[in-house]
Amino acid sequence: MAEAIYSITEKLDVPFIFKSSFDKANRSSAGSFRGPDMDEGLRILEDVKNEVDVPIL
């Protein structure tokens, strides 16, 4: 997804900063999946930063 959005913003000469969350705490059920743990979530965000070469917020 980051690559597709970055491609569009690059053509439009618009700055792009990737923002995502690895912990979805606001779920309606306490037992719902909240996402990967912090270490895995941060690793995924680091991969996006390195592979797409965009800043991460």
Contacts of 44 (CB under 8 A, 6+ apart): 22, 36
How many distinct structural domains can be found in the chain? Answer: 1
Q: Structural domain of residue 18, as residue ranges? A: 2-53
Q: Do residues 42 and 54 make contact, with C-beta atoms less than 8 angstroms apart? A: no
pLDDT tens-digit map of 11-56:
999 999 998 877 776 666 777 777 788 888 889 889 999 999 999 8
Measured between alpha carbons, how far is residue 23 from residues 10, 26, 36 in Å?
29, 9, 7
- pLDDT value for 37: 82
Q: Tell me: pLDDT of 7 over 80.
A: yes
